[in-house]
Amino acid sequence: MSTEESNREAALIAEAEASTLIKRLGIFTKLSGPGWLQGAITLGGGSLAGALYLGVIAGFGLLWLQPLAMICGIIMLSAIAYVTLSTEKAPFGLVNTHLSPALGWAWMIATIMANVVWCMPQFNLGRAAIQQNLLPFVGDSNTSTAIICLILLAIGFAINVLYESKGKGARTFDRIIKVMVGMIVISFILVVINLATTGGIQWGSLFGGLIPNPKLLISPAAGYADLIAASSQPDWWTTKIITDQRDIIIAAFGTAVGINMTWLLPYSLLKKSWGKTHRSFSIFDLSIGLFIPFFLATSCVVIAAASQFHTKIGDVDPNSPVASGTLAELQEAHPGTTNTADLELALSLVKRDNFQLATALEPLAGKVVSQTIFGLGVLGMAVSTIIILMLINGIAFQELLGKRGDKNAHYIGCAVSGIAGFAGPFVWTGAAAAALAIPTSVIGGSLIPIAYFTFFLMMNSRKVLGDNRPEGTTRIIWNVLMGFATGVATIGSVWVLYGKSHMRDWHGMIPAAGLLLLAILFIIGIYSFLKNERES
């Protein structure tokens, strides 16, 4: 951003702070930017799947979960913004200098891995939205898939070129991201409005689901009560459903804020030439660009999935491998005959995908809403996430190659993740997907609490922040909020890693290594912080 543009923004912020609330919101919304990038990446396949599974397994009962997860994420992203805007320096260098290079490089490597690997399912999601929802006549041949993925790659690269340009190009980039996030949200809102007008939503249960209910960590959703009571093994089914609920809850929490989002925010703030005067505004930016779109979009998907799938089995193949596997587990634990309730419970726990949801909505919402509008929302999720994953990888490669601000380094990073994504529909299947997804999710999952913990330490560092370090009551509030968010992230990561460490063969070794990595980096972080603060 030029000095002239920076001065203009500062003047508008000063004008906003002296204006009425409505005018202030209008000015702030116009100036917002980095928060929308965060919204564009978090509204991807992971959040979509998480919202779907929450609706399937718990109905409206877990509507509160993803908003709470995002609030925790925004607390830590606000801390990252505070550190970045106070120092006006790139955080990779700050972490390496004032804490430990081990933390900085682990953060970068995990970010690059996440960008490369998670681009694959986004391309797969995008091409499937076109082939199954929007343009089914194009077919699903390899040629059709390759052409669609090539178009997605070209779009992602072209919009990243805008990001690296100055003036109108950069402003166009911001507008495109805002429009795409808006399209995603509006698409899913239209689906829910249509459901509401056709009587497909139980409003009492819906509003009750917005109230946090931690009981679902230790007891099945109420909708299963009658089936569990009628089953052959109520205790076994209770444990099974609680375990599935818990896994989905932890996974949904983990997809709210990813390791690469913690990398993107500080660099996008510096790209905008924001500084100390933008610290309060950055929290508004995260709220308007990240929290509100995420809350609306994921809530709409949970509502749609809950209304169509929770404890309902009409759309599930009775010979579903997942259901058969669940019944086989029951028989192995308790040999004997199974009854009708056992079969219905097994079928009700089968996860559905976004395309099954669109088909299930068609009788109520009509073909245009269920297939076209829903398909546009899904495609928007895929495309916006592809763009931002390529963007983050470009920024990470600038640091990796020691060429911060260099366009060519940015384009190399974009190409690495984009080309990997292009290959996604051809390799993101079966054992190959597991081989890629398991180590990446483990490394990313283990380093999210480390990224949080790193900025927790930096917010308390006199050496990093100097006179900008929060003091008194403000510091206490920051530490309570950051401690809560970091604690929740750590518990969730340890829970998932410990559970996966019991998998057979090599799959179990990687999560075990992730737990060890988590512990080592925590120790390095505390030691480095205390050592450097004594020297300051």
Mean pLDDT within 144-172 = 87
- Asked whether 32 and 289 are in contact (CB, 8 A), the reply is yes
98-116 pLDDT, tens digit per residue, is: 888 999 998 998 899 889 8
Q: Show Cβ contacts of residue 235 under 8 Å, excluding neighbours closer than 6 positions.
A: none
Listed residue (117, 118, 90) closest to 104, CA to CA: 90
Mean pLDDT within 295-315 = 85
- Give the pLDDT band (50/70/90) at residue 508: low
Q: Show Cβ contacts of residue 265 under 8 Å, excluding neighbours closer than 6 positions.
A: 34, 37, 38, 77, 80, 81, 84
Q: Which residue has the higher pLDDT, 423 or 173?
A: 423
Q: Which residue has the higher pLDDT, 450 or 442?
A: 450
CA distance 136 to 128: 9
Q: Label each residue of 309-320 as H, E or C.
A: HCCCCCCCCCCC
pTM recorded for the entire structure: 0.86
Single-letter amino acid code for the residue at 443: I
- State both tokens at 29: 């919304």
H-run or E-run covering 146: helix 142-164
Q: Which SS3 state, helix, strand or coil, does residue 191 take?
A: helix
CA distance 75 to 284: 12
- State both tokens at 272: 């905008």
End-to-end CA distance of the chain: 33
Per-state percent for the chain, helix, strand, coil, to nearest 5: 85, 0, 15
- Give the pLDDT band (50/70/90) at residue 324: confident
- Asked whether 217 and 245 are in contact (CB, 8 A), the reply is yes
95 in the Ramachandran plot: left (φ > 0), alpha (ψ -120 to 50) or beta? alpha
Long-range contacts of 284-288 (CB under 8 A, 24+ apart): 284/28, 284/32, 285/28, 285/31, 285/32, 285/33, 285/34, 285/35, 285/36, 286/34, 286/35, 286/38, 286/74, 286/77, 286/78, 286/81, 287/35, 287/74, 288/28, 288/29, 288/32, 288/35
Listed residue (377, 479, 477, 329) closest to 129, CA to CA: 377
H-run or E-run covering 351: none
In this structure, what are the phi and psi dihedrals at residue 272, rounded to the nearest 5 degrees?
A: -80, 0
Question: Would you state the pLDDT for residue 442?
Answer: 60
- Give the pLDDT band (50/70/90) at residue 271: confident
Alpha helices in 209-353 (DSSP H): 225-230, 234-256, 259-271, 279-286, 292-309, 321-333, 340-348
CA distance 115 to 393: 6
**CA 205 remoteness from chain centre:** 26
Measuring CA to CA, how many Å separate 159 from each of 117, 165, 395, 407? 20, 10, 14, 13
- State both tokens at 24: 């202030």
Q: Which residue has the higher pLDDT, 442 or 323?
A: 323
Mean of the per-residue pLDDT values of the chain: 84
Question: Would you state the pLDDT for residue 329?
Answer: 87
